[in-house]
Amino acid sequence: MNPKWIPVAFFIESLFLYGLGLGIAKYLGATILWDRLWIGVFWMGCLQFGGIFLLRSISKTLTVENNGRPPSSPFSSDFILSIAAFASLASLTVLMIANRLFTLDVLWVALMAVLGTLISAKVIRIAEIERFREVVLSFGMAVLVPWFAFLLQTGEYHRFLPIVTLPILALRMAMILSYQLSTYAHDLNTKNPTLMVRVGWQNGMTLHNLLILFAFALIAFGNVIGVPLSIGLPPMAALVVGTWQIWSMRRIAQGDKPNWRGLIWGGAALYGLVIYLYAYSFWIR
């Protein structure tokens, strides 16, 4: 993907996940408060854009330093954009505090989101956590975004949140692994420590398949422990795409010529389809 489109892709993904959180709240009887909806969307958007532009700024600085050349300017355009985004985030946070929107649950999720953003942007560098940067980023997107949307509307936790978001987290990780397999040789040569490089391509392909199976096992388990079948059954339809992904990965492992475009888009389609089917099921009931 063209790096210029990454912020847009993240924002669109966040909108779908935010809509999922709102759908759960609506299904459970909460009245959607539009002022809270918009302030929540802009808050998450400022946090994400700030993190993306800050990561770009830090990455460019490190690249220049590694090449032995001094940076042309201490304040790049990406750095200025990140400061603007974080300044807007601070303003929205003050507004939310003034309107008493930060319950204990909302505060916990917001702090986790900020911490995850700083780790993903390499501002906070802890060796043990750095090795799981993809997990931190996926947790921030697949789990914290819908939780934030839900809690901002209702103010309290509900057991549907982990039941719905944990399978989505697993599928996001599988999507990342399918993409990183396509860039494995390049990442290995350039010493880019992606998750696939760190675990090895064979282990990575096995992990990809297990994550897909684990996700649908969680969805099925959710149907057993209290999620109505009218909500939990539609996402199971995406198992067809999941099976195709596992089959494609096994063919690559057996030495067949890989269809990288099909594998990458298949992973994205599986992830997006489960989000859509969950969100649609919640919203129409």
What's 4's DSSP letter?
G
* pLDDT tens-digit readout, 11-57: 899 999 999 999 999 999 999 999 999 999 999 999 999 998 888 88
Q: Which of 110-119, 171-180, 231-240 has the lowest mean pLDDT?
A: 110-119
- pTM reported for the whole predicted model: 0.91
Predicted confidence (pLDDT) at residue 72 exceeds the cutoff of 70: no
Angstrom distance (rounded) from CA 93 to CA 149:
15
What's 246's DSSP letter?
H
Give the rounded percent of residues in the chain with a pLDDT score beyond 90: 74
Angstrom distance (rounded) from CA 16 to CA 28:
19
pLDDT band at 1 (very low <50, low <70, confident <90, very high): low
Closest C-alpha to 277, from 225, 226, 240, 249: 240
Angstrom distance (rounded) from CA 181 to CA 195:
10
User: How high does pLDDT run on average in the chain?
Assistant: 90
* pLDDT tens-digit readout, 230-266: 999 999 999 999 999 999 999 999 989 999 999 999 9
pLDDT for res 57: 84
